[in-house]
């Protein structure tokens, strides 16, 4: 199945959805329409039980260059707070709250909000030509679209401050060393590697993955007592799934489980 929006391409291969940012002539820079289409595609993937993993990538030589500044460079003053609340925050939340694993296949530059988009995903696989840059400081702005939330959790507060304040480019290899990405691959192997990893995740117990995501993030702002209670809550739900029953049965029968995401 393949659906072409105006700014993205959304296709499904077996149990994996692939969302491609499709403004290559503009380095896949965001427009309001693109924000909305990404959010809709993520919601569509979340609502389709046959989809069990999602890849986000970019067409052409960039992953995403951030906001298309041509849309905000007029004479009229912009309320950047309302701008984010209307356009970017809902998009990032749609990715973050997905019960399916989300993989960023970073094919080139991920700058500004494009970097934030990659950080909001659960996993990142990068082409050797990829780079990450918190470019906001270069136009006198604060990292947004979740960067101030995800970045310090991924690399630690000190390094996050360094990347945000200096706005220096991080190469794919440096991103690997920092723990920002899971794997660096040759450019012509990126899509195959991302799809293989997504298909691996798609064969796993999908509901348990969603609960793991939810419980991990809950634990970041909880006391130990609260975290233990939320684990018990999540485990009760996981224990009622068909995949849990299949996992136990397969273990007893000494065979590989056949999870169906139920």
For residue 68, the model assigns a pLDDT of 86
Nearest to 211 by CA among 136, 93, 102, 99: 99
Asked if residues 126 and 191 have their Cβ atoms less than 8 Å apart, the reply is no
**Burial tier of 79 (Cβ tally within 10 Å: 0-12, 13-18, 19+):** exposed
- Please state, in angstroms and as integers, the Cα–Cα distance from residue 176 to each residue in 23, 128, 155, 182, following that order: 27, 10, 11, 7
Query: If we measure between CA atoms, which residue out of 130, 134, 132 comes closest to residue 194?
Result: 130
Return the pLDDT at 74: 55
Express each pLDDT in 186-205 by its tens digit: 999 999 999 999 999 999 99
Query: What pTM does this model have?
Result: 0.94
Helices (H), 187-254: 190-202, 206-220, 224-238, 242-252
Number of other residues whose CB lies within 10 A of the CB of residue 73: 8
180 and 132 in contact (C-beta within 8 Å)? yes
* pLDDT reported for residue 159: 97
Report the alpha-carbon distance of residue 152 to residue 159 in Å, rounded.
7
Radius of gyration of the chain (CA): 19
Which residues of the chain are under the pLDDT cut of 50? none
pLDDT score, position 232: 97
pLDDT of residue 1: 63
Domains in the chain, CATH or no CATH each: 2-202 (3.90.226.10), 206-252 (1.10.12.10)
Provide the angle, in degrees to the nearest 10, between the axes of the packed helices 224-238 and 206-220. 170
**What is the chain's mean pLDDT, rounded?**
94
Cβ proximity of 246 and 260 under 8 Å: yes
Say what the pLDDT of residue 148 is.
97
Question: What pLDDT score does 73 carry?
Answer: 58
Alpha-carbon distance of 200 to 53, in angstroms, equals 9
């Amino acid at each position: 199945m393949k659906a072409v929006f105006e700014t993205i391409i959304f296709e499904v291969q077996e149990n994996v959805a692939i969302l491609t940012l499709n403004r290559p002539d503009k380095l896949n820079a965001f427009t309001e329409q693109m924000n909305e289409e990404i959010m809709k595609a993520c919601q569509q993937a979340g609502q389709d039980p046959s989809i069990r993993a999602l890849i986000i990538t970019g067409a052409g030589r960039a992953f995403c260059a951030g906001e298309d500044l041509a849309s905000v460079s007029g004479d009229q003053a912009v309320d950047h707070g309302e701008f984010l609340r209307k356009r970017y925050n809902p998009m990032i939340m749609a990715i973050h709250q997905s019960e399916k694993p989300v993989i960023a296949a970073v094919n080139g530059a991920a700058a500004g909000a494009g970097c934030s988009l990659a950080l909001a995903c659960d996993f990142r696989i990068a082409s050797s030509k990829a780079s990450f840059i918190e470019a906001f400081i270069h136009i006198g702005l604060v990292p947004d679209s979740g960067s101030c939330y995800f970045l310090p959790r991924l690399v630690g507060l000190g390094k996050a401050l360094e990347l945000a304040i200096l706005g220096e480019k991080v190469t794919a290899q440096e991103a690997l060393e920092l723990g920002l990405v899971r794997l660096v691959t040759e450019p012509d192997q990126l899509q195959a590697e991302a799809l293989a990893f997504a298909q691996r995740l798609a064969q796993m117990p999908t509901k348990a993955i969603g609960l793991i995501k939810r419980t991990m993030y809950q634990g970041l702002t909880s006391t130990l007592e609260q975290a233990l209670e939320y684990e018990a809550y999540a485990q009760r739900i996981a224990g009622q799934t068909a995949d849990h029953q299949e996992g136990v049965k397969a273990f007893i029968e000494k065979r590989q489980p056949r999870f169906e995401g139920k």
